[in-house]
Structure 1
Amino acid sequence: MNTSIVIADDHPLMLRGLTDFLSSKDFNIVGSAQDGNTAYNLIVKLKPEIAVLDIRMPQKTGLEIAEACKKNNLATKIILITFDKEEGLYEQAKRFNVYGYILKEFAIEEIENCIEHVLKNKPYFSEEITSYLNSNSDHKPEKLELLTKTELKIVKLISENKTSQNIAEELSISVRTVDKHRSNIVCKLSLDNKPTSLSIWANVNKHHL
């Protein structure tokens, strides 16, 4: 069965463009909306695998929908599209377990790749956003110094979207050992224990690895 998707954007041309493009790629667009309330109601009713949401919409923003989905334990994975490179919005997106975050000017170019990552439970954040945020931060995260050389290698490989199996093969160690290292890294970096937390952290800080 094709991946079910709800799309919401208050700009009709963007909404139509994304809908037409994803439909042409055989994704199943089960609903679309131009405001946040309608989008959230569609997510609750239709339970799509993925929701592609404009970050700024009337009634409910994409972030508010992501927050509501997290609060109500909805399984739909959220991808946000935005013109904003504001760090505060990016940090909020991470807190609300947003899986994808892409810039509108690159939305058509990146959305298919983003969805493919998200379907594999891999977060996807536009290179343009992470590069911009990193260029505005010259300091390495302090807690990076707590990691061993092996842990740093693993974090770097995670930032390249490598799986535990990929990492195990590359470092010639067992998957169990990789998972143990991942657990230690999460603890040292004081991250929450959600599956995507370390991947998101690694992507955001890949410039320093």
Structure 2
Amino acid sequence: MIRVLLAEDQQLLRNALSSLLTFEDDFEVAAEVADGQQAWEAIQKYKPDVCVLDIEMPSISGLELAEKVREANLPCKIVIVTTFARAGYLQKAMDARVEGYLLKDEPIEYFIESIRRVMQGERVISTDLAAALFMKEDNPLSVREVEVLILAKEGMTTDDMSKALYLSNGTVRNYLSSAIQKLEAESRQQAVKAAVEKGWI
């Protein structure tokens, strides 16, 4: 019996996946949760064989959760599900050593068979996602631009950044401006979002 944990914040999709898995003779849904923190607690409590994690969830994202599971040396397999064919996300998933990375619009038969293959020791990636990995863009950001975007992601002001990096406010603003230009964004928040999606910060 393959014991599965489902972590998906869209209730309709979560319920549908749970029902379909329950119909299979070799599956048992150990738990179904709506956010990353609940998933982390359920993984430790129920010790599932496979964790099916939505890539974007409240509290803790699927990728962050995958990293926590690996750091804790928990034995469960991890399958990330996503609506986004983004190379940066896929690269981060590979870095976290996930066993599966699937698009949500895959046929349910493919989804179920992928979990079985993962349990047999295979790594399964949706074809469209694998193609995205080969189209990966080179990171145009300098080390300093990456640093200021990471601090911006943490909510720091320009003044906070200048103190943290031992730079003047003007220098920090220049790095932010340069990063925003390179990412063709209109604000630091948009630049952070773009850099995260591409896996550059």
Q: TM-score, normalised by structure 1?
A: 0.62
Count of residue correspondences: 136
Match of 1:54 in 2: 54
Q: Among the aligned pairs, what percent are the same residue?
A: 32
Aligned ranges 1:121-136 → 2 under 5 Å? 121-134=121-134, 136=135
Residues 1:13 and 2:12 aligned together: yes
3-state SS in 2 of match to 1:68: helix
Match of 1:24 in 2: 23
- Cα gap change, 1:107 to 1:16, in 2 (>3 Å): farther
Match of 2:87 in 1: 87
**Alpha carbon RMSD of aligned pairs, Å?**
1.5
3-state SS in 1 of match to 2:106: helix
3-state SS in 2 of match to 1:105: coil
Match of 1:106 in 2: 106
User: Where does structure 1 lack aligned partners over 5 or more consecutive residues?
Assistant: 138-209
Structure 1 segments, 4+ long, off by >6 Å, are: none
- For 1:60 and 1:74, the matched residues in 2 are separated by 17
Point out the more displaced range, 102-111 or 63-72.
Answer: 102-111
Asked which structure has the greater CA Rg, the reply is 2
CA deviation profile, 1:32-55 (whole Å, cap 9, x unmatched): 000110011100111110010100
3-state SS in 2 of match to 1:98: coil
Asked if structure 2 preserves the Cα contact closer than 8 Å seen for 1:8 and 1:39, the reply is yes
User: Where does structure 2 lack aligned partners over 5 or more consecutive residues?
Assistant: 137-201
- Cα gap change, 1:90 to 1:107, in 2 (>3 Å): farther
1:63 deviates by 0.5
- For 2:131 and 2:113, the matched residues in 1 are separated by 18
- For 1:65 and 1:47, the matched residues in 2 are separated by 14
3-state SS in 2 of match to 1:89: helix
1:107 deviates by 5.6
- For 1:61 and 1:25, the matched residues in 2 are separated by 28
What amino acid maps onto 2:14 in structure 1?
L
Aligned ranges 1:1-209 → 2 under 5 Å? 2-26=1-25, 27-106=27-106, 108-134=108-134, 136=135
What amino acid maps onto 1:64 in structure 2?
E
- For 1:18 and 1:40, the matched residues in 2 are separated by 19
